[in-house]
């Protein structure tokens, strides 16, 4: 078990961590894309609900 944690610590030194600016930009991109996709899906849901409502 102790060997596992030593290996994890060794591998974590090889990780390339983003800078604070990169992390903020990537977070903004994820939020923006999520909002765009949710609006797109919400629009299609609204359109299909209108179609189904008119059929029924």
Measured CA to CA, the distance from residue 8 to residue 12 in angstroms comes to 6
Q: CA-CA distances (angstroms) from residue 29 to 21, 48, 56?
A: 12, 28, 40
In a domain, 56, yes or no: yes
Place of tokens 């923006």: 32
In a domain, 12, yes or no: no
Residue 56 confidence (pLDDT) above 90: no
In a domain, 5, yes or no: no
In a domain, 6, yes or no: no
Q: Can you give the residue range of the structural domain that contains 41? A: 18-56
- Are the beta carbons of 26 and 18 closer than 8 angstroms? yes
Q: What is the pLDDT of residues 4-14, one digit of tens each?
A: 999 999 999 99
Q: What is the pLDDT of residues 11-36, one digit of tens each?
A: 999 999 999 999 999 999 999 999 99
Q: How many domains does the chain have?
A: 1
In a domain, 40, yes or no: yes
Task: Provide CB contacts within 8 A for 18, sequence distance 6+.
Answer: 26
């Amino acid at each position: 078990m102790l060997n596992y944690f030593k290996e994890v610590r060794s591998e974590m030194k090889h990780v390339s961590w983003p800078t604070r600016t990169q992390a903020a930009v990537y977070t903004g991109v994820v939020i923006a894309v999520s909002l765009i996709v949710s609006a797109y899906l919400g629009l299609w849901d609204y359109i299909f609900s209108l179609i189904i409502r008119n059929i029924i």
